């Protein structure tokens, strides 16, 4: 199973290298430069370029120090165009091949690809969520809590695991266009006791007095401003001494590791408006601003968690 997931995601890492090589990024990093300094030289968006640079550090092609990036010894040797062992011509050729390979199926199958329905999207997320839900439920202690709200709960895999382990009264908040798909998966998993509330967690009332709130794989598709808003709303929705559980690909404060989180930031550049992956400190800063007082960091095998507590007033 690990092999299948790894192989199916390998194109992302390949494309990080190919994109950088195609735009001769390494030629400009024999000297250390920040993303802001490098962006005009490459005619790049500084914000997006920084995500690429962090991913290149995660893959070992760059080194980062004090906010500046420079070539690793391997990149200096093979990826700078003045070098004798320069591989860039071949990499640019490979990048042109990548664009052709992205259409491989069109050369083989004589029908249109299937559109992704909301149900299929949630089932795709569910394949990962079910692998991680038991581990999350074991890692966070919700003993003695009675209610849980799961914001953007998707397939419900996490709400099911937490509700079953801690006997919680659980509510999933989902957008109206997705809520039916959530209900269908809950039905298939025999979890009809979990409520689905159709609401937008950034605009609508989603209830009050919850003992725990789960924010799983949400922060990465929201901008910083929307995350701030979300956590203010979560704080208001929690009872005194309630906890928020933020579960996601969370970066180290360098923003260059773990590798999966640094590369996933680029996936969100392509799939969201202003989203990316965030660091431990960034998540904790939003929670602190919202009013949460104490924090716990938890490492899971494939993801990370920050738990924030609301104190008694």
Ligand X SMILES: C[S@@+](CC[C@H](N)C(=O)[O-])C[C@H]1O[C@@H](n2cnc3c(N)ncnc32)[C@H](O)[C@@H]1O
Footprint of ligand X on this chain (CB under 6 A)? 125, 129, 152-154, 158, 173-175, 178, 200-202, 216-218
CA-based nearest residue to 287, from 296, 298, 300? 296
Strands annotated E in 177-290: 195-198, 210-216, 238-248, 250-251, 278-279
Q: CB-side exposure of 225: number of CA atoms within 13 Å? A: 2
CA distances, 204 to each of 152, 176, 228 (Å): 13, 12, 16
- Rounded least distance, CB 288 to ligand X, Å: 23
- Tell me whether residue 152 or residue 258 sits nearer to ligand X (CB atom): 152
- Tell me whether residue 72 or residue 227 sits nearer to ligand X (CB atom): 227
- Rounded least distance, CB 51 to ligand X, Å: 18
- Rounded least distance, CB 181 to ligand X, Å: 8
Q: Are 118 and 178 in contact (CB under 8 A)?
A: yes
- Rounded least distance, CB 26 to ligand X, Å: 33
- Tell me whether residue 5 or residue 202 sits nearer to ligand X (CB atom): 202
CA distances, 191 to each of 44, 124, 194, 199, 229 (Å): 48, 19, 6, 20, 30
- Rounded least distance, CB 197 to ligand X, Å: 9
- Rounded least distance, CB 161 to ligand X, Å: 11
- Residue 38 burial (CB count, 10 A): 21
Contact residues for 253 (Cβ-Cβ < 8 A; gap 6+): 279, 280, 281
300 alpha-carbon distance from chain centroid: 14
- Tell me whether residue 75 or residue 266 sits nearer to ligand X (CB atom): 266
Residue 237, token pair as written in the block: 């929705």
CA distances, 223 to each of 20, 87, 230 (Å): 25, 37, 10
- Rounded least distance, CB 286 to ligand X, Å: 16
Report the alpha-carbon distance of residue 139 to residue 214 in Å, rounded.
13
DSSP assignment, residue 272? S
- Rounded least distance, CB 158 to ligand X, Å: 6
Helix-helix angle 46-58:259-271, to 10 degrees: 150
- Tell me whether residue 156 or residue 308 sits nearer to ligand X (CB atom): 156
- Tell me whether residue 158 or residue 292 sits nearer to ligand X (CB atom): 158
- Tell me whether residue 154 or residue 308 sits nearer to ligand X (CB atom): 154
- Tell me whether residue 105 or residue 120 sits nearer to ligand X (CB atom): 120
């Amino acid at each position: 199973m690990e092999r299948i997931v790894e192989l199916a995601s390998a194109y992302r890492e390949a494309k990080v290298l190919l994109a950088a090589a195609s735009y001769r990024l390494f030629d400009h990093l024999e000297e250390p430069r920040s993303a802001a300094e490098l962006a005009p030289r490459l005619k790049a968006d500084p914000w997006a370029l920084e995500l690429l640079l962090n991913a290149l550090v995660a893959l070992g092609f760059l080194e980062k120090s004090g906010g500046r990036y420079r070539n690793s010894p391997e990149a200096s040797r093979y990826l700078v165009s003045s070098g004798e062992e320069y591989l860039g011509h071949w990499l640019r050729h490979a990048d042109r091949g990548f664009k052709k390979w992205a259409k491989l199926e069109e050369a083989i199958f004589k029908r249109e690809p299937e559109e992704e329905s909301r149900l299929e999207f949630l089932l795709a997320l569910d394949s990962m969520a079910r692998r991680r839900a038991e581990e999350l439920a074991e890692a966070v202690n919700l003993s003695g809590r009675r209610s849980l709200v799961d914001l953007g709960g998707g397939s419900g895999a996490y709400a099911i695991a937490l509700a079953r382990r801690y006997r919680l009264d659980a509510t999933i908040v989902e957008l109206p266009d997705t809520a039916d798909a959530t209900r269908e998966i809950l039905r298939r998993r025999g979890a009809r006791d979990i409520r689905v509330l159709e609401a937008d967690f950034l605009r609508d009332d989603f209830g009050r007095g919850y003992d725990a709130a789960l924010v799983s794989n949400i922060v990465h598709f929201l901008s910083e401003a929307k995350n701030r808003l979300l956590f203010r709303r979560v704080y208001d929705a929690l009872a005194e001494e309630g906890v928020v559980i933020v579960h996601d690909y969370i970066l180290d404060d360098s923003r260059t590791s773990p590798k999966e989180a640094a590369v996933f930031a680029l996936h969100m550049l392509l799939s969201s408006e202003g989203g990316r992956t965030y660091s431990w400190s960034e998540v904790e800063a939003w929670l602190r601003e919202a009013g949460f007082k104490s924090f716990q960091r938890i490492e899971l095998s494939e993801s990370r968690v920050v738990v924030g507590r609301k104190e008694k007033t």
